[in-house]
Each structure stands twice: as C-alpha cells, then as structure tokens.
Amino acid sequence: MSEFFTEYKTIIVFLHVISAVVWVGGMIAMKFAAHASFMEVESPQKRLQRVAHALKRLFFLVIPFVIILLVTAIIMTKAYSLSQSEYAMLAYAKEGIWSVMAINLFIMILRRNRAEKLIDKGDMVGAKFSLELIGKYMVPVNIILGVSAIFIGSYFSSNL
Ligand code: HEM
C-alpha cells in the first residue's frame, strides 16, 4: 500500500482534499448563501419546495465525494501506518468525525425525502419542521465537524 501511495500521492491527496472541499464547502454555500436567498421567496409552499429541491441536488452531489473521502482516508491510514503511529488518536478522531458526518448526512436525506412527501400532501407545517431541523442544526453540526477534520488534516500534512 505504501508503494502504491508513494506513486500516486499527489492524486490521492488531491482526491481527499477536493472531496472535503465539495462536501464541507457545499454545506457552507447552502447554509449561508442559498438558504438566505430562499427565505426571500414569499410563498411558504414555494419556499419549502426550493429548499427541498436545493438540498436534494446538494446531497446527490456530495455522496460520491463522501465515498472518495473514505477510500482515500483508508489508503492513507494504511500507507502512513497511522494506527501504529503517534498520530493514532488523531486518525481515530478523523474516522469518528467522518462516521458522524456520514450518519448525519444519511438522516438528513431521510428527513428531506419526508419533507418532500409532506409538501406534496400539502402539510406545510410538517415539512417546515423537517427542513428546519436540517438547516438549523444538522447542516451546522456537519460544517463544524468538517472544519475540525480539515484542521487535523492540515496538522497531518505538516507533520507526517
Ligand atoms: C476518515 C478518516 C480520515 C483520515 C484517516 C484522514 C487522513 C488524512 C491524512 C493522513 C491527511 C494528510 C495527507 C498528506 O498530506 O499526505 C489528510 C489531509 C486532509 N484531510 Fe483527511 N482524513 C480523514 C477524514 C477527513 C475528513 C472527514 C475531512 C473533511 C471533511 C478531511 C479533510 C482533509 C483535508 C482538507 C486535508 C488536507 C489538509 C492540508 O493539506 O493542509 N479528512 N487527511
């Protein structure tokens, strides 16, 4: 694994970093740019429809990058023998962060799907509740976790 990594290091680290950029950057853009703009839409039904649609596109976009991030992380864990090194705890912390972010994403996908069904049924109160949880808590949690993982990544790249 170590020889494979040495040969393809640039592309592996690039794929790892670009995946983090798309996943974490996508959520930041959604929360601070797109969401604020959707709130300007006057009709509650249209507003919820726009939010649900934008989240659907974001989630579809990030799924491949979530997987690429994990695959490149596994390659680097093995190549750097992180589990046997003094950086083991930080590597476990990053694995934990990835896991919580992925579970959180999965629950957000389920909630969004539910919200879309509620919008179609005309239950705007239920749909608003589901989408509000995503925007107010679940996306910010993933942004904070993602930024922490990027910080540990920067520490790794300057120490490994
Ligand atoms: C799943 C467990 C993870 C492991 C084992 C891991 C491991 C690593 C390692 C070893 C590096 C240093 C690469 C090098 O310079 O040779 C790195 C860098 C990086 N990681 Fe991760 N990572 C994981 C998850 C994540 C997650 C969840 C994110 C963000 C969502 C992330 C974002 C980054 C970034 C942005 C860098 C580059 C930092 C820089 O070059 O300054 N990583 N990671």
Going from the Cα of 134 to the center of ligand 1, the distance in angstroms, rounded, reads: 25
What is the pTM for the complete model shown? 0.95
Cα–Cα distance for residue pair 46/65, rounded to 1 Å: 30
Neighbours of 4 (CB within 10 A): 12
Taking alpha carbons only, the member of 27, 52, 21, 28 closest to residue 126 is 52
pLDDT in tens, the chain (160 residues): 788 999 999 999 999 999 999 999 999 999 999 998 998 888 989 999 999 999 999 999 999 999 999 999 999 999 999 999 999 999 999 999 999 999 999 999 999 999 999 999 999 999 999 999 999 999 999 999 999 999 999 999 999 8
Domain count, the chain: 1
Ligand 1 atom 37: residue of nearest CA: 153
Rounded to 10°, the helix 124-133/88-121 angle is 170
Ligand 1 atom 4: residue of nearest CA: 73
DSSP secondary structure letters along 106-157: HHHHHHHHHHHHHHHHT-HHHHHHHHHHIIIIIHHHHHHHHHHHHHHHHHHH
pLDDT at 131: 96
Going from the Cα of 17 to the center of ligand 1, the distance in angstroms, rounded, reads: 7
**Cβ of 81 less than 6 Å from ligand 1:** no
**Cβ of 13 less than 6 Å from ligand 1:** yes
- Tally helices (H) and strands (E) across the chain: 6, 0
**Cβ of 150 less than 6 Å from ligand 1:** yes
Going from the Cα of 30 to the center of ligand 1, the distance in angstroms, rounded, reads: 22
pLDDT at 8: 97
Find the angle CA(67)-CA(61)-CA(131) to the nearest 5 degrees: 110
Domain of residue 112 covers: 2-159
Going from the Cα of 6 to the center of ligand 1, the distance in angstroms, rounded, reads: 16
